[in-house]
Chains A and B, each alone.
Chain A
Amino acid sequence: MTTNPLSVALFAAAQAMGFLLLAPLLRGLIKKMKAAFQLRQGPRFSQPYSDLRKLLRKEPVRSTTASWVFVAGPRVYFASAVVATTLVPAVLASAPLERAGGILLLVGLLALGRFALATAALDTGSPFGGMGASREMTVGALAEPALILALFTAGLSAGTLNLGELVRRTAERGTSIHPSDLLAAAALFIVLLAEAGRVPVDNPATHLELTMIHEAMVLEYSGADLALVEWASAVKELLFMTLLAGLFLPVGVATSVTPEALAISSLALLAKIFGLALLVVLVESTNAKLRFFRVPELMAVALGLGFLALAMRFF
C-alpha cells in the first residue's frame, strides 16, 4: 500500500487509537451479554471506561520491596500491545506497519508483553505475584506452539507470513473456505481464550487465589499502573479477535480507500467482532473453569487441531 512515512504514521496512529478507544467497549459488551445469559441486569456498556477513569485518578501504591522493574512492567506490556495493533489489518486489507514484519513479529511482541509483566509481578515478594507469573508463563508456553501452528497453516496456504498480504490474498480468494481453515480457526479461538484469560482457562471475574492466573499476577498493582494493565489486556483481546476475523473471515474487508468501502468494512468488522464476542460469552457461560492441570489438555487439543489443519491442507 502506501509507503509515504507521514501517511504510514497517521494510519498507524489512527489504528492504534481505534483499538485503544474500542477495546474497553468489547469488555463491557462481553460483561453485558454474560449478565443477560445469567438473567442479570449487569453493568452498563460503558462501565470499563468508568473503571479506567477511576483507576487513572487514583494514586498508585507501590511496594517498598519493589524496584524500577515493577514500574516498567505495565508500561512495556501496554506499549507492546499498542505496537502490536499496528501489525494487524483491521478495517483496511493492510496493516499500517506491515513492512516491519509479519506473524512472527506479532507473536514476538505479545511474548515481550507477557515477559515484562511476569517479571514485574515477581518484584514485590508477594507469593501471589509469583503464583500468577508462574501460571501465566506456563499457559503462555503451552499456547504458543498452537498459536504458531495455526498461523503457519494460514500463512503457508497463502504463501506469505505478512499479515497484510495474507488478508489481501485471502480476500481475493473470496468466500471459498477450505475445511482446514475451520480447524485452524478453532485452534486460534482456543488460544484466544487462553491469551485473553477467559473461562475455561482463567476466570477474569474471580479473586480466589487458588484459581486465578492473570489477576494474581497483577494483584499488587493499583492506580494508573493497574489501568495500563487492564487497558492493554482489553486491547490484546480485541487484537486477537480482529486477527481471527481477518485471517479466516475476510468478508467485506476494504481493499481500497473509498468512503463506501471503509463504511462497509467497518460494519463488517464490528459484526464479526460481535459474533466472536458472542461465542466467547457462550463458552464462558456454558463451561466451568478447568482445573489448572487440565489446561495443557485443552492446549494439546488446539495444537492437534492446528496439526490436522496443516495435514489436511497439504496432503
Chain B
Amino acid sequence: MSEESLLPLGLALHATGVALALVLRRQPAACRWVAFVASLCGSLTSFALGASVLASGRPVRGVLFANTAAGLSVGYTVDPLSAWFLVTLAVLAAPLALYSVGYLAHAIPPGRTAFVGMAWNVLLLSVEMVFAADGVLGFLVAWELMSLATAALVATDHESRPSRRSAYLFLVMSHLGTGCLVAGFFLLAQAGGSLAFADLLGGSASPGALRGLVFVLFLVGFGVKAGMVPLHIWLPEAHPAAPSNVSALMSGGLINAGLYGLVRVGAGGLGRPDPHWGMAVLLLGSVSAVLGVLYALGETDLKRLLAFSTIENGGIALMAFGAGMMGLAAGHPGTAALGVVAGLYHVLNHAAFKGLLFLGAGGVVASTGTRRIEELGGLVHRMPRTAGLFLLGSAAIAGLPLLNGFASEWLVFQALLRGFFSAERLTRIVLPLGGALLALTSALAAACFVKAFALTFLARPRSRAAAEARESPALLLVPQAFLALACVGLGLFPGLVVRVLGGVAAALPGIGPKPALAGGLAGVSVGVPAFDQLSPFVLVPAALVALGLAAAIGFMTARERRRAPTWGCGGELTAEAEYTATAFAKPLVTVFRDIYRPTREVSTVETAPYFASEVRYRSQIGAPFERLVYEPAARAVLAAAGRLRIIQAGSLHAYLAYVLVLGVMLLWWLGGLP
C-alpha cells in the first residue's frame, strides 16, 4: 500500500465508524465495539503514516477532494512536524479506543452510545485533518469541526446544567480563537496571494508591517486551544465535564492542536521571528506552567486537578518553544532546534502520562461514583493495579528520573540554558529565571501528585463508596498498562526520541540541519563540546544495585515483622482524623495566598458541654481571571448588545429600510473607488 493512500484510508475508517455507529444505534454493545474498533484502526493507520514519514523524512502529499469546475481542492501534506503530531495522537487514541469500549458500558446511558461513538470518530478525523491540512480552507474547516465535535462530547451529559455551561463556555472561547485565526490567515493571504500553507507559512510570505499583528492573532487563536493563561478558563471546566476517555483525549491530544499551530507559525513560519515574540511565548508559558500547577494543587476534584495540570504541561511546552524562538531570532538555529525538540518531546510525554492518569481517574470514578478526593482514600487495597499504574503516571508527570517527564523537562532546561549563551545580553537573564520557574513548577507538580495519588489511594477510605470500590476490568487496565510502558520507554531512550525529533526540527523553515544536540541508544548530549548529557543506562544498573542493597538491608536484619494499628494518640484513629487533600495543600495555599486569594469561613455548629462537637469549615480559592477579565468583558458585551437592540425593532419596514440604506451606501462606496 502506498503512503499516499494511508491518510485517506484513516479518515475513511473514522467515517465508517460514524456511519456504522449510526446504523447500530439501537444495539449499544455492538455499536460500542464497531465505533471504537474503527477508531482504533484509524489511529493505527495514521500512526503508520506518521512513522513512515518520520523514518524517511520525506513529506507525503495528496489530494482529498477536488472539484475542477469550482477550482476547489482540498489537499494534505504530512511533513515531519505533522507526522510527529499524528504519531502523538495515535499513541494516545489507540489505547483510548480500547478503553472506551469497556468504559462507556457503565459511564453513560446506553442510549447515548451511538452519539459518543460518532462524535468521537468525527473528532479524531478532524484532528488528524488539522495536522495534515496543507491549505487555509481545509485547515479551518477541520479546526471548526474539531471544536464542534469536542463541544458535543463535553455536553454528553446534557441533562446536567454544569455540563451544558462548560460546553457553552468552550464554544465561546473556541470561536474567539477561531475568529483570530481567520483574521490572521486573511492578513497573511492578502500578502501571500494564495491559500496554500506552502506559500503562507514557508517563511517567505511577508505581511510587512502587519507581521506583528498576524503573530499576535495566531498566538491568541492557537493559545486558546493550547490552554495558555489567560485564555485557559474553558479548560478546567470542559475537560472534566466530559466522560473520562474524552477528557484524556482532550488533555493529551487536543491541546496539541494549539501547540502544533504555534510551532508552525512561530518556528520560522512567518520568517525569522522578532526577539520579543519568543520572549512573549516564554513568559506566557512560564505563567501558564506556574499558575496551572498552583491551581491543580489547590483542587480537590481529581479530574479538575488533572485538567489544571494540563495547563501546566502546555505551559512547559510553550516555554521550550519560546526559548527556541528566541534562539531563532538571535540567529542560532542550534538553540532553536533544541527548543523545538524539547517542546515536541514534552508534548508526546504529556499525551502518555496525562492519558494514563485520566484513565486511572476514570476507573476510580466508575468504581466509586465520585471525583472528590476528599471522599476517596484506601483504594490501594481495593484497586491495586489501578493504584500502581496511577503512581507511575504521577511520578512521570512530577518529572522524576528516569521516567519520560524527567527526560523532556531536562531538555527544556537545556533549551533555556543554551539559549542563555545565544540570546542578547540584556534579555538573556529571563532564560535562567525561566529555569528557576520551571524548577518551581516541577517541584510543585511533585507536591500536587503526591496529593493526587496518596490521598486518593492510600490510608483509609473516607466514604462508603471508596470502601466498596472494585478493581477495574482488564479492558480498562490494559490500555493503562500500555501508556505506562510508553512512560517508561520514553524515559529510558531519550536519545532515540531526540534523534527522530532532530529530523523534525531540521525540516522546519529557518532552523535547518544544524544539530546542537546528538542522540543515540546511549543517550543525549547537548552542545559541542558537551554542555550536559543524559544517559539513563549508565544509571540503571546503579539504581538497581542500590535498590537491591536497600531491600537486602531491610530483609536480612529483621527476623520478624509485626502488624499493628496506627497509633492514635490514645484514642481510636478513624478515617476522619486523616489528612485531607485540602489540608495537604494548605501550607502552599497559604504561602501563595496572593495568587490563590483564598476565602474561608469557620463556624461552630454545635457545642457539647465543653468543646465544639461539630465545626463547619468552608474554604474556596478565588478565580481572578474570571472575576477581573472575563466577567467585566461579558458585562460589556451584554451592555453593548442591549444598546444595539434599538435598531433591531422587530419591524419589517425598518429592516427593509436598512437593506435599502446599506445597498445605496455600498453602491456609493463601490462607485467612489477609482
Contact = CB atoms under 8 A, between A and B. Distances in A.
B554 A115 contact: no
Given A59-B559, A160-B532, A125 B575 contact: yes
Given A67-B380, A126-B573, A56 B553 contact: yes
A220 B450 contact: no
Chain B interface size range:
35 or more
Contact of B547 (A76, A146, A306): A76
Interface stretch (B2-10, B257-265, B471-479, B578-586): B578-586
A228 B532 contact: no
A62 interface: yes
Interface in A123-159: 123-127, 129-131, 133-135, 137-138, 140-149, 152-153, 155-156, 159
Contact of A145 (B440, B449, B578): B440
B400 A115 contact: yes
A60 B391 contact: no
A157 B575 CA distance: 52
A69 B380 contact: yes
A203 B491 CA distance: 37
Contacts of B563: 61-64
Contacts of A111: 398-400, 442-443, 446
A162 interface: yes
A50 B562 CA distance: 23
A141 B450 contact: no
A79 B546 contact: yes
Contacts of B458: 67, 69, 119, 122-123, 125
A58 B558 CA distance: 7
B553 A156 contact: no
Interface stretch (B28-36, B107-115, B536-544): B536-544
A147 B542 CA distance: 25
Contacts of A69: 380, 391, 454, 458
Nearest to B406: A108
Given A102-B532, A296-B591, A156 B420 contact: yes
Interface string B531-569: 111111011011100110111011001111111111110
A100 B539 contact: yes
B659 interface: no
B401 A127 contact: no
SS class, residues of chain A in contact with chain B = helix
A290 interface: no
A165 B596 CA distance: 42
Contact of A220 (B453, B543, B566): B566
Nearest to B564: A61
A122 B531 contact: no
Contacts of A60: 554, 558, 561-562
Contacts of B436: 145-146, 148-149, 152, 303, 306-307
B395 interface: yes
B543 A79 contact: yes
B400 A123 contact: no
A149 B474 CA distance: 46
Contacts of A103: 532
Interface residues of A, number: 93
A135 B433 contact: no
Given A60-B558, A111-B443, A78 B550 contact: yes
Contacts of A101: 401, 410, 532-535, 539
B406 A141 contact: no
B446 A137 contact: yes
Interface in B506-541: 530-536, 538-539, 541
Contact of A134 (B387, B533, B579): B579
B211 interface: no
Contacts of A133: 450, 454, 579, 584
Nearest to A9: B541
Contacts of A160: 530-532
Given A83-B539, A134-B583, A310 B432 contact: yes
B496 interface: no
Interface string A49-92: 00000001111111111111101001110111011001000000
A249 interface: no
Contacts of A292: 587
B140 interface: no
A292 B558 CA distance: 36
B459 A100 contact: no
A63 B564 contact: yes
Contacts of A124: 459, 566
Contact of A82 (B378, B413, B534, B546): B546
A292 B587 CA distance: 9
Given A101-B532, A160-B532, A161-B531, A141 B560 contact: no
A199 interface: no
Contacts of B532: 101-104, 160-162
Interface of A: 9, 12, 16, 56-69, 71, 74-76, 78-80, 82-83, 86, 97, 99-105, 107-109, 111-112, 114-115, 118-119, 122-127, 129-131, 133-135, 137-138, 140-149, 152-153, 155-156, 159-162, 165, 220, 223-225, 227-228, 292-293, 296, 303, 306-307, 310-311, 314-315
Given A105-B534, A141-B447, 16 more contacts: A59-B561, A78-B553, A100-B539, A101-B534, A102-B533, A105-B410, A105-B539, A134-B587, A138-B591, A142-B591, A148-B435, A153-B432, A220-B567, A224-B553, A224-B554, A315-B425
16 contacts: A61-B564, A63-B563, A64-B564, A67-B380, A76-B547, A80-B546, A103-B532, A109-B401, A115-B450, A125-B460, A133-B450, A134-B586, A138-B587, A156-B420, A162-B532, A306-B436
